[in-house]
Amino acid sequence: MSSRLLKPMSLFLGVVMFLFGFLKFLSPFSGWFDIQIQQSHLPHAAILAGKLTEMLTGLLFLLPWFLKSLKKNRAQVILLACLILFTQMVVAIYVHLQPGVPASVLPLGIKPPIIPITVLVFGLFTASAAWKAEQTDSSAPIR
């Protein structure tokens, strides 16, 4: 995975994660997300935490490309975003696999965890590109 793919991959993940988190504050997505968390027996605090951390993850993928102060540490910030994304997608896979969570409240009504696995794999590719970029040239900024 080339470092030249890092920017489009992280920008894509940033937009997707920020929008997914933001939409969970709006109806009907808010109600669907509440049901997902409740039916998977996660703590009630996971509702707000899930929404906010998805938005935070999106920002962590986006901001290093737009803030000059983060340019030097761009790869590290993206790796942090990938770590949080990995955790979120593991939880999302868990939620999808819970028998009490109906398909009707899941993204696109798909019960198998296809979407979280796809996002997880994409995040792993992004982490790999960020890691390689960091290792090959830690003194030069990623373009």
Helices (H), the chain: 6-23, 29-39, 45-66, 74-97, 114-136
Give residue 67's pLDDT: 87
Tokens of 118: 């796809």
Separation of alpha carbons 121 and 44, rounded Å: 28
pTM for this predicted structure: 0.88
Q: Cα(first)–Cα(last) distance of the chain, in Å?
A: 15
Tell me the pLDDT tens digit for each residue of 25-72: 999 999 999 999 999 999 999 999 999 999 999 999 999 999 888 878
Here the tokens at position 75 are: 């790869």
- The token pair at 36 is 């997902």
The pLDDT, as a whole number, for residue 1 is 47
For residues 69-83, give the mean pLDDT.
90
Please say if the pLDDT value at position 141 is more than 80: no
Q: What does the pLDDT read at residue 72?
A: 82
